[in-house]
Amino acid sequence: MNTPSGREGVEADFLEGELKAIGFTTWRDGAGQTVGGNTGNVLARLEGTAPGATALLFNAHMDTVAPTDALVVREEEGVLRSSGDTILGADDKAGVAAVLEGVRAAVAEGFPRPTIEVVFTIAEETGLRGAKALDYAGLTARQGYAFDGGRPTGGIVVAAPSQNSLRVKVHGVAAHAGGAPEKGVNAIRVAADAILRMPLGRIDGETTANIGVIEGGKATNIVPDLVTLRGEARSRSEEKLERQTQAMVDAFHQAAAAAGVSAEVEVARSYTRFVVERDDRVVQRAVEAGRRSGIAEPVIRLGGGGSDANIFNANGIRSVVLGLGYDNPHGVDEHVPLEDVAIASQVAVELIRLAGQER
Ligand SMILES: [Zn+2]
């Protein structure tokens, strides 16, 4: 299925049908309108059979990054790959498959289970927009698992950073580059000066920063009067994020002031950090579920990126991210062993079994 962000409708139809067949009540929210896509998020609930058991939320995102045109999935010696011209989309269809197969198998086994809620989101890859626009009022689970991690399979991401995004305009003064260059102020040069003044890359163990887009200038014979830039800073520490963001903002203003021009810097919060403690039931249950699924020692780690789990945590659903064993997500050589998807779906089964036994 070809489902880039905003075009998940065909997959949403399929998944709603599958969930209904298992016994779930399904519905969609209005997030599609908010993000300009052709479907909302798919939500589903199956009431529990174990009285008093903790309700669980399972999540994966339906969209993928591009390119996906003429996507073909090939299996080679138990490993799923694309033709090499497109991404595979294991990020995050391996997660979708693990959740769907996990809940199906758990219900089929018939053991006492908690209430299960499933959320298949849209537009994760374009800024977690589906999760941000999700209608949380219909959800009761307060503990969740986002099946949206890479290697290792069954690995548990218990923390993720906050991210700020920066949009910058550096103003210069236009002039003829041959006739009167001294009348101009080169905005590209001011932007370059600003970038050299700021710390970028890996700042410390929990902080990163990047300038990712720079655009400006019209012709070689014009001193450019405008450069626009986009960048970001991330940290698992709000204090460090604030410091790094301020250093980037200051660098633009200082470089502009040194050249006698100005810079406009807009800072926006993309998503907010989360930490789930290692002794939390959400984590410990995932460790035990991994062991029961054949993973000797499930890896607990701190994440460097945002995911729908950031948004769930911000909305009161304590969530971690589980690994699916795919490699090179977002690349045309993305691939995933079928065995790993099967293990991840077994992790979902065991999470349900364990929660059904808890009181
Ligand atoms: Zn993903």
Confidence at 70, pLDDT banded by 50, 70, 90: confident
For residue 108, the one-letter residue type is A
Phi-psi region of 306 (alpha: psi -120 to 50; beta: other; left: phi over 0): beta
pLDDT at residue 359 above 80?
A: no
Could you tell me what percent of the chain has a pLDDT over 70?
100
pLDDT at residue 276 above 80?
A: yes
Please count the other Cβ atoms lying within 10 Å of the Cβ belonging to residue 254.
15
Residue 335 Cα to ligand 1 middle (Å):
14
Could you tell me what percent of the chain has a pLDDT over 90?
92
How far is 341 from 277, CA to CA, in rounded Å?
26
- pTM of the predicted structure, to 2 decimals: 0.91
Torsion, Cα of 86, 100, 125, 72 (10° steps):
10
For the residues 94-120, what does the mean pLDDT come to? Answer: 98
Residue 114 Cα to ligand 1 middle (Å):
26
Q: What was the pLDDT predicted at 164?
A: 97
Per DSSP bridges, beta strands 335-337 and 25-28 are: unpaired
Confidence at 83, pLDDT banded by 50, 70, 90: confident
Domains of the chain: 9-160+273-357 (3.40.630.10), 162-271 (3.30.70.360)
Confidence at 1, pLDDT banded by 50, 70, 90: confident
Q: What was the pLDDT predicted at 284?
A: 97
Q: What was the pLDDT predicted at 190?
A: 98
Confirm whether 16 is a catalytic residue: no
pLDDT at residue 257 above 80?
A: yes
Residue 145 Cα to ligand 1 middle (Å):
13
Q: What was the pLDDT predicted at 129?
A: 97
pLDDT at residue 48 above 80?
A: yes
For the residues 24-32, what does the mean pLDDT come to? Answer: 97
Residue 307 Cα to ligand 1 middle (Å):
7
Confidence at 69, pLDDT banded by 50, 70, 90: confident
pLDDT at residue 127 above 90?
A: yes
Q: What is the DSSP string of 334-355?
A: -EEEHHHHHHHHHHHHHHHHHH
SS3 content of the chain, % helix, strand, coil (to 5): 35, 30, 35
Residue 160 Cα to ligand 1 middle (Å):
14
Q: Name the token pair of 40.
A: 């909302």
Q: What is the DSSP string of 114-156?
A: --EEEEEES-STTTSHHHHT--GGG----EEEEEEE-SSTT-E
Chain segment 177-199, per-residue pLDDT in tens: 999 999 999 999 999 999 999 99
Q: What was the pLDDT predicted at 68?
A: 87
Annotated catalytic residue within 11, 29, 63, 101: 63
Confirm whether 327 is a catalytic residue: no
Mean confidence (pLDDT) of the chain: 96
Chain segment 338-355, per-residue pLDDT in tens: 999 999 999 999 999 999
